[in-house]
Amino acid sequence: MNTPPGVQETDAARSAGVIACHECDLLQRERPLPVNGVLRCCRCGAALYRRHGPGLDRALAYAVAALALFVLANAFPIVGLSVNGDLVETTLFGSVRVLYRDGMWPLAALIFVTTLLMPAVQAAGIVWLLLPLRFGRRPYCAEPVFRMLHVAQAWGMTEVLILGLLVALVKLAHIASVVPDIALWSFGALMLLLAAAAAAFDPRDLWARLEALPAAGQGGRPEVAARGHAAAAPLLARTAAGSGRCVCHDCGLLSAPLANVEGHDLRCTRCGSRLHLRKPNSLARTWAFLIAALVLYLPANLLPVMHTSSLFGAQKDTIMSGVVYLWTSGSWPLAVLVFIASIAVPMLKIIAIAFLAGSANLGSSWQPVQRARIYRIVELVGRWSMLDIYVIAILTALVQFNALATITAGPAAVAFGAVVVLTMFAAMSFDPRLIWDTKAHAHGATS
């Protein structure tokens, strides 16, 4: 459902809330939506908000089940490898421990954060916020927990882990007998439950319930919070920046004019997140992360990502040789998938972000809608490059048969992990509103 471009100043429209698109900064009126409906920006097509219906109770149920499965998935081995009667099993934390023991602590930390810490924070954060609300009480420290939940949803990568486990199992099947364990199925169910909880969790409904409680507005700034809602503000400017307002990227609140907010460290009056008319030093930070990722991209693909030692000698594998191995062994769908996720996507992501940052630097007004779509695609696919990192973690933890065969992570694994993280930081640093600023200035930002 799209907001119509022409907004008529009727009495009903004046009483409706005013929202700003977090991607192009355009001011628009809220519209009633059917259940599962989506309101999209009439200029750039970004999703402004979704109506989930009575989804918070479902989100709570999914999150509680996800926490139970998280404990189960980490209490039992994921998979075992049997060779000549010897059985080697590992948990996900065991894979992290092996990498740390082998001196690959940056890789161990990355896997721990994205597959253990962030999924746990995501499930626990939803329970923390929604369980007290279920009994009509305000959750303790709701604002920082909400902000933490927003970060956890961006960095939790359980779905990529599951795909990495599938690729690892195909490779392990050519080495020895693979014995799937209970944690493998638990992680699969955990992935589905976390996705369902995230889909049912409605921040707008959450804040509406929080503000309806007697304790709403506490924190010493109730009068500022009241001004923060733009409920009856007329659309005198085309963009939020043109009216001196900021949209919160965490909770979506359109904050009061900057002249009414004291201090230089501006924060959302509802959730406490930092506010900026535009992300500070956005292009400089984007280029810095991007150049660092480009420098590391070559060693990530040229140096060995794994070392294999066996009775038949030693072998060094690069990312590309792993793709060739999957192809020649008959697993061509997985070979194509690994090639796209580990080789094509990182390079295309670097090119796409460089194009977006360069066009913003030049003040280009060329095809802003298409550039906005490129930005959304970059954000969507960036995490899938972690696929090969998870494959390496499982292989190094399981193939530990001493004299028979041993696999250890190579230097390219650390470089590749850094490329993935740096490109994600580059995408997060880029402010998509810069795509529209030149066009807005050309047509009059306050028209």
28 contacts 16 by C-beta, under 8 angstroms: no
Helix runs in 56-117, H state only: 56-75, 92-101, 105-112
Give pairs for 108-117: CB < 8 Å, separation 24+.
Answer: 110/389, 110/417, 110/421, 111/389, 111/390, 111/393, 113/155, 114/155, 114/156, 114/157, 114/160, 114/161, 114/386, 115/156, 115/157, 115/158, 115/161, 115/390, 116/74, 116/92
Helix (H) and strand (E) counts in the chain:
18, 10
* Residues 352-374, mean pLDDT to the nearest whole number: 92
Percent of the chain with pLDDT over 90: 36
Q: CA-CA distance, 190 to 258, in Å (whole number)?
A: 43
Most confident of 16-30, 108-122, 171-185, 246-260: 108-122
Q: Can you give the pLDDT at residue 226? A: 35
Question: Are the CB atoms for 117 and 106 separated by under 8 Å?
Answer: no
DSSP for 394-406?
Answer: HHHHH-B-TTSEE
Give the pLDDT of residue 401: 59
pLDDT computed for residue 14 by the predictor: 33
DSSP string, 130-196: HHHHHTT-PPTTHHHHHHHHHHHHHH--HHHHHHHHHHHHHHHTTTSEEEE-HHHHHHHHHHHHHHH
Residue type, 375: Y
Contact 27, 43 (CB under 8 A): no
N- to C-terminal Cα separation, the chain: 25
Q: What is the pLDDT of residue 256?
A: 65
- Rounded Cα distance between 120 and 67, Å, is 7
Residue 321 has a pLDDT of 86
Q: How many angstroms separate the CA atoms of 213 and 80, rounded?
A: 51
State yes or no: pLDDT of 149 exceeds 50: yes
291 Cβ partners below 8 Å, 6+ apart?
none
Q: What is the pLDDT of residue 366?
A: 87
Confidence of residue 244 (pLDDT cuts 50, 70, 90): confident
Summarize pLDDT for 380-400 with one digit per residue, the tens.
888 888 988 998 888 888 876
Q: How far apart are CA 165 and CA 77, in angstroms?
A: 13
> What residue type is assigned to position 40 of the chain?
R
Asked if pLDDT for residue 16 goes beyond 90, the answer is no
pLDDT category of residue 347 using cuts at 50, 70 and 90: very high
Query: CB of 221 within 8 A of CB of 269?
Result: yes
Distance CA 39, CA 1 (A): 5
pLDDT value at position 5?
38
Determine the average pLDDT of the residues in 74-81.
88
Task: Provide the 10 A C-beta neighbour count for residue 284.
Answer: 11
pLDDT of residue 214: 72
Q: Are 383 and 58 in contact (CB under 8 A)?
A: no
pLDDT at position 404 is 59
Contacts of residue 293, defined as CB under 8 A and 6 or more positions apart, other chains included, come to: 346, 350, 418, 419, 422, 423, 426
Q: Note the pLDDT tens digit of each residue in 174-222.
A: 777 888 888 989 999 999 999 999 988 988 889 888 888 875 444 434 3
Tell which wins on pLDDT, 310 or 220. Answer: 310
Report the pLDDT value the prediction gives residue 279, as an integer from 0 to 100: 87
Q: What is the pLDDT of residue 264?
A: 55
- When the pLDDT of each residue in the chain is averaged and rounded to a whole number, the result is 82
- What average pLDDT score do residues 357-368 get? 90
In the predicted structure, residue 352 carries a pLDDT above the cut 90 = yes
pTM (two decimals): 0.84
Mean pLDDT value of segment 293-321:
82
How large is the average pLDDT for residues 42-46? 88
Q: What confidence category does residue 263 fall into, taking pLDDT thresholds of 50, 70 and 90?
A: very low
CA distance linking residue 149 with residue 126, whole number of Å: 7
- Domain regions of the chain by residue span: 1-51+225-240+252-261, 56-206, 282-442
Token readout for 240 is: 């939020």
Sign of the dihedral defined by the CA atoms of residues 100, 104, 109, 115, in that order: negative
Residue 444, pLDDT above cutoff 80: no
pLDDT of 403-437, one tens digit each? Answer: 556 778 889 999 999 999 999 999 999 999 999 98
Assess contact for 385 and 419: CB atoms under 8 A.
Answer: yes
Q: Tell me which of 78 and 215 has the higher pLDDT.
A: 78
